[in-house]
Amino acid sequence: MSRTLVVTGASRGLGRHIAERALAAGYRVIGLARHSVEAPFPIHACDIGDAAAVKAAASAVGRDVELWGVVNAAGIAAMNLTLMTPAATAEKVVRTNLLGTIHVGQAFAPALVRRKGGRIVNFSTIAVPLALAGESVYVASKAGVEAFSRTFARELSGFGITVNCVAPGPIDTDLIAKVPPAAIDALVERQVIRRKGTPDDVWDVVAFLLSNAAAMVSGEVVRIGGA
């Protein structure tokens, strides 16, 4: 039986690319996204910032599959100086990026605990170590994801479950579509590898972290592009 993988943010962007590559690699893919769209795999409409909705989605998914892993690719950004960021925007970013990651972990990890094995891959950003001005709330939410993932990895280690983070630099998706090119160029110049990444660069790392070869890798952050 194919390994089942849940991918959040699967309707577009990196989440969609990861889901499609996972499907091609032989995984049975189930997506979560705010809105269900046409895709070569089922997508459950679910706002990961809503704990009750995530719990309901996990219940629906878990009835007829043996879950192998979860990839938390859903996320939003708010590019603005701290003093110019509305409270509602800050709350939405933290609710989606940090609380959403926690909600998904709480809802889906029990299935991995029951089978005594599996993989969780969360998403951070290279903006965390670079402490990019104008991205304070976004950076704070993703720094929280990294801290949560390290601790969650320790909590789940006795069950054969690994928890890791992937932290990409700039990639041409909707997330950076409104960021001035000069700002992207300046960010890339601060990376170890001075180019924008591609969705396949991200998938290659995610694929490794999902694999049997990564059984001894947990609580780590892989910074794609280097910082």
Query: How many CB atoms are located within 10 Å of the residue 116 CB?
Result: 10
Band (161; pLDDT cuts 50, 70, 90):
very high
Q: For residue 61, is it within any domain?
A: yes
Paired tokens of 13: 């962007």
Q: What is the pLDDT of residue 176?
A: 66
Whether the predicted pLDDT of 153 surpasses 70: yes
Residue 181 has pLDDT above 80, yes or no: no
Please determine, for residue 184, whether its predicted confidence score (pLDDT) is greater than 90. Answer: no
More confident residue, 152 or 193: 152
Q: Is there a domain that residue 226 lies in? A: no
**Token pair recorded at residue 115:** 């089978």
Positive or negative: CA dihedral 22, 122, 135, 88: positive
Whose tokens are 């001035």? That residue is 180
As a whole number of angstroms, the distance between CA 22 and CA 129 comes to 29
DSSP 79-141: -S-GGGS-HHHHHHHHIIIIIHHHHHHHHHHHHHHHHT-EEEEEE--THHHHT-TT-HHHHHH
In a domain, 178, yes or no: yes
- Count of domains observed in the chain: 1
Is position 133 within any domain? yes
227 belongs to a structural domain: no
Once rounded to an integer, what is the mean pLDDT over residues 52-75?
A: 91
Residue 138 is a catalytic residue = yes
Q: Give me 211's structure tokens.
A: 């694999």
**Range(s) of the domain holding residue 73:** 4-220
Enumerate residues 6+ apart whose C-beta is below 8 A from 22.
5, 7, 29, 71, 207, 210
Residue 123 within any structural domain of the chain: yes
Indicate which CATH number applies to the domain containing 65. 3.40.50.720
Name the percent of the chain lying above pLDDT 70.
96
Reported pTM = 0.93
Any domain includes 225? no
| 74 assigned to some structural domain | yes
Better-scored residue on pLDDT, 171 or 110: 110
Tell whether the model's pLDDT for residue 97 goes beyond 80.
Answer: yes
Mean pLDDT estimate for the chain: 92
Q: Which of 27, 108, 123, 138 is catalytic?
A: 138
Res 175: pLDDT:
66
